[in-house]
Structure 1
């Protein structure tokens, strides 16, 4: 029985040693899938359980053998009682050694499995961190693009606001210019109306004087009166076409010497050759 126990311990050591070598080699390759690792662990646990059952059966057999041997030695009062006692002590020592070996192997297996679990968790964390870093970089790039786009839009809006303000200033300036021109035109019209009224009064006064002189001269002779009437009618004729009556007052010389149709052809006054700045249409009834 001692030889059988020793052989069984050697076989157990070989099987556990193979398991230890399997553990040292990374459980069949740590880079494999978690399913293979769990399968190997289950196989090893089943093997360990079967070995424990065999050891328990051997213990029971040894206990039965010891009980029978002790009973036989007691009944027969044989002198081999010391040998049986030494054999029983050897069995106890072997049993303790086997228990210690199983405990040691179980502790080693627990440590190896714990280390493998740590390595698996570390590898999983590295993968998760790499993916998280990639996602963070992608999000950072998207945020940078969105920030640049927002800055571009802000610059564009700022330019639009500046252009809007510039156009508003131009519109206000143009409005002020229009108002100033309208005011100037109104003033010119008022001045022209005043000048025309003064010229009309002076013309009326001259005509009245000429008429009085004409009446005095007509008493002496009628030829000179007819010549004055011809001169006045010639002064009212347009200097451009010499056919239509003058109805345009040229500015600033204030000469009444053009019709409306011929006004555009005159850059200078045909009477005094003064540069034309403007004109006013006068209606004489």
Structure 2
């Protein structure tokens, strides 16, 4: 029994753990009778020695099987690990491509909106500039018209002043004539006043009636109502008549 108890693997110096790859890869120790048996038991039968050798051989075969199984499992695990890495890389690549596509779509949408806003703002600016130019042109036109009307009013005022001065001169001449001819009748006095008026501001076309029509744009008071209808130009400066205005004597 003592001999059989000493034939277990731990007594034979064999290391056979099966839970680790590194331990299985270690080569089992050869059978050492001197190490396993004390000196008093060195003398053993030959069949026990043969059994020990068979057991060591079977242990070596078992270790080789375990090593092969461990290597196979390691290769399978390594292959599975590589497959998982490849799957993760592909999944990450797809997620990144999806994210890039979404970001590109959003960026294109924002760019289109900005371009539309810019086009609307540019169109609105052009419309405002055109409206501003139109208002400026109308303002300049009204300003020119106002200046022309102001100049016309000034010329008319000057013409009226000249007519008033002429009337005053005629009135003074009439008074002088009346003082010289107190014995004349009223008809003779009216004839003298009429002749005085004709001399003061006669029509430049017929020289027989008073001038009461103002020619435009030259602003000359140079025609009577009868002659104005037949005149196409001013009899004073020969400017083309564009319009005429009747002046009422005060």
1:164 lines up with 2:120 in the alignment: no
CA contact (8 A) 2:215 2:244 kept: yes
Q: 1:91 aligns with which of 30, 55, 77?
A: 55
Q: 2:107 aligns with which of 138, 143, 152?
A: 143
Q: 2:186 aligns with which of 222, 226, 229?
A: 222
Q: CA deviation at 1:88?
A: 1.7
Give the TM-score of the pair, scaled to structure 1: 0.52
Q: Structure 1: any 5+ residue segments left out of the alignment?
A: 1-47, 50-65, 75-80, 231-247, 258-268
Distance 1:222 1:127 in 2: 129
What are the residue-to-residue correspondences of 1:245-256 with 2, within 5 Å? 252=216, 254=221
Q: CA deviation at 1:215?
A: 6.0
RMSD value, Cα: 4.1
Pair 1:107–1:278, CA change in 2 (3 A) = farther
Pair 1:280–1:189, CA change in 2 (3 A) = farther
Pair 1:282–1:221, CA change in 2 (3 A) = closer
Match of 2:153 in 1: 189
Match of 2:76 in 1: 112
Give the TM-score of the pair, scaled to structure 2: 0.58
Match of 1:174 in 2: 138
Aligned residues between the structures: 186
Q: Structure 2: any 5+ residue segments left out of the alignment?
A: 1-17, 20-35, 195-211, 232-240
1:121 lines up with 2:85 in the alignment: yes
CA contact (8 A) 2:178 2:189 kept: yes
Q: CA deviation at 1:197?
A: 0.5
Partner of 1:219: helix, strand, or coil? Answer: coil
**CA-to-aligned-CA distance 1:62-108 (integer Å, 9 cap, x gap):** xxxx99xxx7x84xxxxxx3233222211111111101110110121
Q: CA deviation at 1:283?
A: 9.7
Match of 2:64 in 1: 100
Pair 1:226–1:194, CA change in 2 (3 A) = closer
1:272 lines up with 2:246 in the alignment: no
Pair 1:92–1:182, CA change in 2 (3 A) = same
